[in-house]
Structure 1
Amino acid sequence: LAGLGFIAGVLLLTGIIWYFAKDLPDFNSIADYQPKLITKIYSENNKLVAEYAKEKRVYVALEDVPEKIVKSLLATEDKKFYEHSGFDLKGIFRAAVKNFLLGSREGASTITQQLVKNLLLTNERTYTRKVKELILSYRIEKRFSKEEILELYLNHIYLGAGSYGVMQAALTYFNTDLDSLNNAQIALLVGLPKAPNGYNPLKRPKVARFRRDVVLGRMLATKLITKEEYDIAIKKDLQLNPRKKYYGQAAPDYSEHVRRILKDKYGSKFLYTSGLQVNTTLDLELQESAQKAVLKGVRSYDRRHGWRGPIAKLTFLDAWETKLKQLNKAYSNYKVIGEFAYVYEIDSENKTAKIMLKDSQKAMVPFRELKWARKFIETDKKGPSVKKVEDVLDIGDVILVKKLAKQQKAKEVEKTVKKTITENGIEKEVQEKVKETIQPELEYSLEQYPNVQSALVAIDVKTGAVKALVGGFDKQGTFNRAIQAERQVGSSFKPFVYATALEKGFKTNSILLDAPIILRDNELNKAWKPQNYSEKVYGPSPLRRGIEKSRNLMTIRLARKVGISNIIKFASKFGLPTENMERNLSTALGSASISLIDMVSAYTVFANTGIYNKPYFIDSIQDRKGTLIYKKGYNCVECSNEMAQETNVPKELEELEPSGEPIISDTLAYMVTDLLQGVVKRGTGWRARAVGVPIAAKTGTTNDYKDSWYVGYTADLAVGVWSGFDNPQTLGNQETGSGVSGPIWTDFMKEAKKHLPNSNFQIPEDIVFVKVDEKTGQLPTESTKKTILEVFRNGEEPNTQDNEENFEGNAMESDILEGIY
């Protein structure tokens, strides 16, 4: 009977195994395990800029994991790892009894079982899942070596704070590699697998320390550390040094655009799991300068238009400290400007506002740092000048402040004090001079969060590489105004009008009439009477003067002569989106809406001897094994069909022809450059003169001052700045391209030139320079007051006859023109 019972038991067990083994996942798939790795974005100098991943993991081979970490882990998680065949029956029985008697939930899973649960099964707590787990664990132990299982476990296990694997956990908690961990740090990591969220030291430091100390005890018991080492480790705090989170803070808009490119190219799944190394064209020094310049520019504009008042009004009973913390958290984007503070006292005598920061830190806002804050009434109207602190602030105001970089130094003062002394048994009072050091309170400036926005793009003119990009001052990385926003470009479009004219045979000194003009459309019964910005007219003037002073009337007459269709066709060669440009003369004045990056890219053609390079962000991409799968200027020769279908990842690369394409002659490119240098020397682009290097640039301002543009270049770098409101509205009277975007452009280029070669614009062989009268554009005469060097094609320089013949039209008071405008 005993034998029959044994046989029956074996048959029953076999039946159970067969039943549950029918629908098991393929454990052999572990052999093809591809861990989800982090895609990393690097700058051109190989500095880490951003990381994208579903699971943060840095894969490490078992041989590169210090032995003490491995042994400590086994001592804590699976003491019989090298003895069992996937599961520990005694441990399972012991845990079952304990759970039954005590009603607890003690596990007895081996490392192999944990791996099965994480890789092949779910976390559901059922007997069915447990049986499947045991069967798979046994099979895996038969199929894979202990070392292979251990390596998988060390890299796959979740260890809290979004970290997978021991290497990533070391980086997350200690910002170091595995070899640099001390005993206390090893114990903390080894204690995490049991409850990674429960023992997360960043969120639950006390519990994490308790768990660490338990592990240290096991390390001592198993002789992995000595008693002396244990005594040292047990006294240490958690020694946390959290690694910086690389979400792209250094270049948020740039990083986000690269992420979108990768997502479009490879798909979201591949991007977030494949562990790509992406090398970009980003110059971090230029990027930092760009972000600072944009922030300074919008802050300056915002202050010019007045103080919109405190963010909130509180009383001391409102639990202000909690409110400040809530505001700092709710308005995290405000921290690019400053931090929230509470005004608890107005010191009228010393002209300061006493403020309290979070954590009850006291400071002050001196009068000089708030006297800018005239009350905002409307865009072009402010309240009276600020005479005292009370004109701006009141007790209970919650405001935005920023710590000043330069603080007042401590002062040493001499004071006279009274003290009592005893002489010959008699007490008497005497005066004594003593020195005292006075530590001034920390000083802060009054700030407010700007409503206006600005964007900046910087492109290498010779390659098209995007070196810096700011899509908005607040670093949100959401709406990228440099790429996604298309705004009317105003006069920054005029270089393409004048370039078309030069290509059609006009000269830089051709005379155009600057006089009133009325354009009528008889079919629509409409009339348009454009004006110059100054609302004045200047009579016959050289073509150069039209672009240097951004004269609208001259530009319209030039566009009529050249033909608006020819101008649009010409502009299309520069990569500008011309499909929706209206075929009327308003286009010549910049009525078309174009993105900032497209405008800057188009300007690079003038700087690069007429050669167009499409702007690009990514230089190369490597896969998780370091294999080059993309390189700018190369193409895929032979792609894996399976991989290509899912990810478009090339397997082999071939060099392409140079991408640069000459679209205009180097002569024409230089002539336009010379005209735009004149814009800086004598015209609306004057602010760039402060940079101190040869610069060609053009400003742009749209109707009602809704958009402000400044686009220009050196021989090496093209830069564009746009400023305005997301919901188009006036920036205010006289807030032009020169006044709003110009300072941002100039501030950026002052820093950028420190990192650029000191290059000059290349002058083609068939260019000649002739001294001409600045006012007439003709050869100097006795009445000439000022001359300039004018640029001409060889053979087209002026002679004496030109003085009488080179006039287009005559100085009529006005023109009335028929046809579409």
Structure 2
Amino acid sequence: MADGAAAGAAPEGKKGKKPKRPKRKGWRRIFPTWRMVLGGFILIILLCVGGFMAGYMLVDIPAANSAATKQSNVYLYADGTQIARDGEVNREKVPLKEVPLHVQRAVLAAEDRDFYGESAVDPKAMIRAAWNTVTGKGKQSGSTITQQYVKNYYLGQEQTVTRKVKEFFISIKLDREVSKDDILEGYLNTSYFGRNAYGVQAAAQAYYGKNVKDLSVAQGAYLATLLNSPNAYDVATHPENKPRAAGRWNYVLDGMVSEGWLDKSERTKTKFPMPDEAKGAAGLSGQRGYVVKAVEDYLTANKIIDEETLAKGGYRITTTLQKDRMDAFKEAVDEQVMSKVDKGARKVDRNVRAGGASIDPATGKVVAMYGGIDYTKQYVNNATRRDYQVGSTFKPFVFTSAVENGSVTQDGRPITPNTVYDGTNKRPVQGWSGGSYAPENEDHVDYGDVTVRTATDKSVNSVYAQMAVDVGSDKVKETAIALGVPEDTPDLTASPSIALGPSTASVLDMTEAYATLANHGKHGTYTLVEKISKDGSEIELPEPKTAQAVTREAADTTTSVLQSVVQGGTGTAAQGAGRPAAGKTGTAENDTAAWFAGYTPEL
């Protein structure tokens, strides 16, 4: 045994050699060893981790794309019904607090029921979508609301692997930096619902003619249904698709029930809410464009919002205009003016323009406006333009100034409605040092001695030119400005001719001035805007300011004289109002414009 032990030992001082691993032969050569598999797996993990870290560090959250932030301004009547939207993008951003909880939950039930509890991305859906896109099996989008919001707000709608990668990393970063509520709010305001409606507020108006806060559960579920296929599921446009749309709608409601967001009994009672018929884009046709332009001018002129800021959109502007009065105004113009125009038979009728405005004298609010037959056909607003002479509608301001200033005639008689003047045609004015001025009366009529009241009824130029001198044309100008005629009105010059109305104030300017007379001499600058807000926050408006422009005696005495014009003078047509009225007619030089300015106790 000792000999055997010695024979098995290695010679002293020499190391034993490691036996060689037998070579792999046959079919085993085809398969990698377990070491190769492990090494490859570790390498893939390292590459994935390294790629993730590199992508996370290199891909930043970009600025929002311009299409996602562009909004329209919404213009509303005083009762909240819509007048118009400006801009090409039909979007109105609303804060999440204004979206009813049942509408929020309907969207979650349709698109991402685990939104509040899940991570920003769904890797499996991302891989599946990318694979299907690459292999041509159909374009797929990301599945989570966060990913869809990133696509809508930061990226674009193209379905490419590059965009998917960016979407992946931006979604993860965004989820870490902002709240889930902020992401949901952004998603609701950027998603497309069909009918050119971007965002849930625009969709509520487009499909049901109401604000999102007023949507029912059924209506909210229908809008959530549209997110999957907006055009196909518009059952008013594609009634043949109603079974598919109803199926998706039921899926949404059933999801709300399963998530505990909707009671089963309420679900049972819910009926499919047919949307309103789709309407063509209203644009700015008809009176809409005139209103939008007038409101824009009002906001910028009063330094409430500058033009550049307003152009960015997103404002919800409630005007003082009343829909019933706007409709009545248009009907009256169509019936009394436009129906009598014959563009074929009379060449002059081809250029007929009409404009008007109505102000509540107690509040200064513009309640109605007529800018022209159609903004798309006659671009300039005839209610606000300042290029037509006001004519004899200016004469009442001369008389108001006379009473206000206690003026007397050249021979010392106080100027009252019964003061007698010489109404001879082309009578030179007395007491004027600026040169000879002898205005013609209409149709060259000689009226002889007439009272101020009769001279107003007949619109006698020679009487009022003399009265302007008696009062002082500078004082007449001051009175007109105090009543509401803008100081910078073209051709508002202190001379005897001021009485005949060569100045070119707008219809709205003159309406404001006459409203001061109707309000017993109290003047308040007109207002066109009741309320304005953006993203749910109200913009501060100037406080209305009123002042006693002229004494009550001066205003009411003028009103008495103007009532005579309606009762038996040149304004008898105003008797058709069926209530006490005061007013004055006027024509511009060469009959380029015909006016009537007047008022009732309320308007």
Alignment TM class, shorter chain as reference:
0.7 to 0.9
Paired residue for 2:163, among 129, 151, 154? 129
Give 1:714-733 correspondences, 5 Å limit. Answer: 714-717=600-603
Tell me, what secondary structure is at the counterpart of 1:488? Answer: coil
- The residue number in structure 2 matching 1:24 is 59
Answer whether contact 2:425 2:447 (CA < 8 A) is retained. Answer: no
Pair 1:628–1:701, CA change in 2 (3 A): closer
Paired residue for 2:396, among 456, 470, 495? 495
Pair 1:631–1:206, CA change in 2 (3 A): farther
Amino acid across the alignment from 2:353: Q
Question: 2: CA distance between counterparts of 1:95 and 1:516?
Answer: 90
Amino acid across the alignment from 2:593: D
Question: 2: CA distance between counterparts of 1:52 and 1:249?
Answer: 11
Pair 1:491–1:45, CA change in 2 (3 A): same
- The residue number in structure 1 matching 2:17 is none
Paired residue for 2:562, among 676, 682, 685? 676
Structure 1 stretch displaced more, 260-269 or 667-676: 260-269
Question: 1: CA distance between counterparts of 2:220 and 2:363?
Answer: 48
2:326 is the alignment partner of 1:287:
yes
1:604 is displaced (CA, Å) by 2.6
Paired residue for 1:301, among 340, 358, 375? 340
Tell me, what secondary structure is at the counterpart of 1:454? Answer: coil
Answer whether contact 1:56 1:168 (CA < 8 A) is retained. Answer: yes
Paired residue for 2:154, among 82, 95, 120? 120
Answer whether contact 2:483 2:549 (CA < 8 A) is retained. Answer: yes
1:673 is displaced (CA, Å) by 2.1
Pair 1:238–1:587, CA change in 2 (3 A): same
1:490 is displaced (CA, Å) by 1.4
Report Cα offsets for 1:475-504 as digits up to 9, x if no partner: 659422111243111111112233344432
Answer whether contact 1:41 1:278 (CA < 8 A) is retained. Answer: yes
Pair 1:112–1:517, CA change in 2 (3 A): closer
Amino acid across the alignment from 1:69: A
Question: 1: CA distance between counterparts of 2:385 and 2:552?
Answer: 31
Tell me, what secondary structure is at the counterpart of 2:325? Answer: helix
Paired residue for 1:535, among 426, 437, 444? 444
Question: 1: CA distance between counterparts of 2:146 and 2:538?
Answer: 32
Paired residue for 2:304, among 265, 277, 281? 265
- The residue number in structure 2 matching 1:772 is none
Question: 2: CA distance between counterparts of 1:609 and 1:7?
Answer: 91
Question: 1: CA distance between counterparts of 2:53 and 2:569?
Answer: 88
Give 1:138-177 correspondences, 5 Å limit. Answer: 138-142=172-176, 149-150=183-184, 152-166=186-200, 168-175=202-209
- The residue number in structure 2 matching 1:571 is 480
1:551 is displaced (CA, Å) by 1.2
Answer whether contact 2:74 2:82 (CA < 8 A) is retained. Answer: yes
Aligned residues: 537
Pair 1:296–1:632, CA change in 2 (3 A): farther
Question: 2: CA distance between counterparts of 1:144 and 1:96?
Answer: 26
Amino acid across the alignment from 2:526: P
Question: 2: CA distance between counterparts of 1:199 and 1:662?
Answer: 60
Tell me, what secondary structure is at the counterpart of 1:94? Answer: helix
Question: 2: CA distance between counterparts of 1:73 and 1:46?
Answer: 31
Answer whether contact 2:86 2:284 (CA < 8 A) is retained. Answer: no
Give 1:434-449 correspondences, 5 Å limit. Answer: none
Indicate the RMSD between aligned Cα atoms, in angstroms: 4.5
Give 1:202-221 correspondences, 5 Å limit. Answer: 203-206=237-240, 210=244, 213=247
Structure 1 stretch displaced more, 18-27 or 673-682: 18-27
Tell me, what secondary structure is at the counterpart of 1:699? Answer: strand
Q: Choose between structure 1 and 2: higher helix proportion.
A: 2
Q: Choose between structure 1 and 2: higher strand proportion.
A: 1
1:36 is displaced (CA, Å) by 7.6
Amino acid across the alignment from 1:104: G
Pair 1:15–1:262, CA change in 2 (3 A): farther
Structure 2: state its 5+ residue gaps.
Answer: 1-35, 410-414, 430-434
1:708 is displaced (CA, Å) by 0.6
- The residue number in structure 1 matching 2:529 is 618
Structure 1: state its 5+ residue gaps.
Answer: 309-375, 381-449, 521-525, 634-658, 718-821
Question: 1: CA distance between counterparts of 2:478 and 2:253?
Answer: 77
Pair 1:65–1:249, CA change in 2 (3 A): farther
Question: 1: CA distance between counterparts of 2:455 and 2:256?
Answer: 87
1:683 is displaced (CA, Å) by 1.8
Question: 1: CA distance between counterparts of 2:489 and 2:584?
Answer: 20
2:529 is the alignment partner of 1:629:
no
Answer whether contact 1:488 1:594 (CA < 8 A) is retained. Answer: yes
Give 1:377-396 correspondences, 5 Å limit. Answer: none
- The residue number in structure 1 matching 2:577 is 691
Answer whether contact 1:618 1:632 (CA < 8 A) is retained. Answer: no
Answer whether contact 1:37 1:59 (CA < 8 A) is retained. Answer: no
Paired residue for 1:580, among 479, 487, 491? 491
- The residue number in structure 1 matching 2:380 is 479
Answer whether contact 2:461 2:500 (CA < 8 A) is retained. Answer: yes
Amino acid across the alignment from 1:617: L
Amino acid across the alignment from 2:444: E
Paired residue for 1:180, among 202, 212, 216? 216
Identity of aligned residues (%): 28
Question: 2: CA distance between counterparts of 1:471 and 1:108?
Answer: 49
